[in-house]
Amino acid sequence: MRVSLIITTYNWKEAMEVSLLSAFHQTVLPAEIVVADDGSGPDTREFIERIAAAAPVPVIHSWQEDQGFRLARSRNRAIARTSGDYIVLIDGDIILERHFIEDHLRFARPGYFIQGSRALLGRELSARVLKKKVMEPSFCVCGVENKKNCWRSNLLARLFSFKSASLTGIKTCNFAFWKEDAVAVNGFNEEFVGWGREDSEFTARLLNSGVRRQNMRFNALAYHLYHPMNDRTRLEHNDRILKRTIDLKLTWCEKGIDQYL
């Protein structure tokens, strides 16, 4: 099974560098890394070219013009460029514990997508991590919220991971799915412009199509760097799109990944 890791980014190459470095030091490397870039400036492109030259796996830069927050489109374009059977999706402000890919592979099952967890790093700890370019041991360190998400244990993962049919807690900053399942529902819905709900709507269509949800706990640890909240002025509009998908039990979106395949 070939695993493609997708990392989303927008004009924060300092965070993306730490995220990429954590991906390069995995116990099991992905087959490739695709950077889904929603319109960053040329300095990001130059950085990716430089770091890709010495990377242990291929690093592909999937860039689109900056026309506002178009994360759904950026992700579709990145997924279309992957060669893997299985997609692990994170954000560019996520740092991976070194067993992250290994853990996702252990939980991968046909007919399921995986929702992982994350630990939130405070402002001061995030600044130190960005400066050192490496994640500090985090279970006992100050500046980490929800510290239980910093504890890796295969035993606890077996005991406390669970299946669900709910949309509650969907966060595609630590998320995995089979590429064929994503293509079957036409990927992310590009009606979504601006922050919010494109991940929940994609998940709703997966669930409506019969793909099941597996929540993974105490494995695939992910550390989220602090940043200010995104602009949420489009959230009400996006909520309406999500509600339509739920009410009509839709499994397909009209404007999705098929235009790039």
Query: What would the pLDDT profile of 172-226 be if each residue is shown by its tens digit?
Result: 999 999 999 999 999 999 999 988 899 999 999 999 999 999 999 999 999 999 9
Which pLDDT score, from 0 to 100, does residue 138 have? Answer: 62
Query: Binning pLDDT at 50, 70 and 90, where does residue 143 land?
Result: confident
Which pLDDT score, from 0 to 100, does residue 137 have? Answer: 66
Residue of 146, 135, 48 whose CA lies nearest to 93: 135
Which pLDDT score, from 0 to 100, does residue 90 have? Answer: 98
Please tell me the least confidently modeled range out of 79-88, 92-101, 136-145, 151-160.
Answer: 136-145
- Say which CATH number the domain at 42 has: 3.90.550.10
Report how many domains make up the chain.
1
Question: 24 pLDDT exceeds 90?
Answer: yes
Owning domain of residue 245 = 3-260
Query: Binning pLDDT at 50, 70 and 90, where does residue 140 land?
Result: low
